[in-house]
């Protein structure tokens, strides 16, 4: 009995939480040239390591994970926490607000 409970708990821990990918909360890429990419950073800094490069057409779904910060800065100077869902998997990181706009998720 005890082993069954432990096995069930381990199995439950392996299940990933689901994220909403329909309705409001997604982003479109803006202000990125056709021959360029949007760099997704590990933290809210242009000096942080790049964790993903997203083509100007924005393959996959870009989901806004929270408020773009710091709130004291003008919109274009803020950093936005996002998750990118694509055929290659999921990537979390930060992008400059001037390169994204609100959109409904597909």
Q: Domain map of the chain by residue range?
A: 20-105
Per-residue pLDDT of the chain (106 residues; tens, 9 = 90+): 544 434 443 333 433 334 444 556 889 999 999 999 999 999 999 999 999 999 887 678 999 999 999 999 999 999 999 999 988 899 999 999 999 998 888 7
Name residue, tokens 């004291």: 72
DSSP 47: T
- Give domain 20-105's CATH architecture: Roll (2.30)
Cα–Cα dist 14/7, whole Å = 11
Please state the pTM of the whole predicted model: 0.75
- Round to whole Å and give the CA distance between 100 and 32: 9
First to last CA, the chain: 44
48-53 long-range CB contacts below 8 Å, 24 or more apart? 48/94, 51/91, 51/92, 51/93, 52/84, 52/91, 52/93
Q: Which residues pair with 89 in a beta bridge?
A: 86
């Amino acid at each position: 009995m005890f082993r069954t409970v432990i096995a069930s708990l381990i199995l439950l821990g392996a299940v990933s939480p689901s994220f909403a990918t329909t309705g409001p909360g997604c982003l479109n890429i803006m202000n990125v040239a056709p021959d360029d990419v949007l760099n997704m950073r590990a933290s809210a800094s242009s000096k942080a390591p790049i964790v993903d490069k997203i083509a100007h057409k924005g393959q996959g779904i870009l989901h806004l994970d929270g408020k773009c910060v710091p709130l004291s800065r003008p919109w274009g100077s803020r950093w936005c926490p996002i998750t990118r869902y694509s055929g290659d998997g999921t990537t979390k990181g930060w992008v400059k607000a001037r390169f994204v706009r609100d959109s409904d998720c597909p």
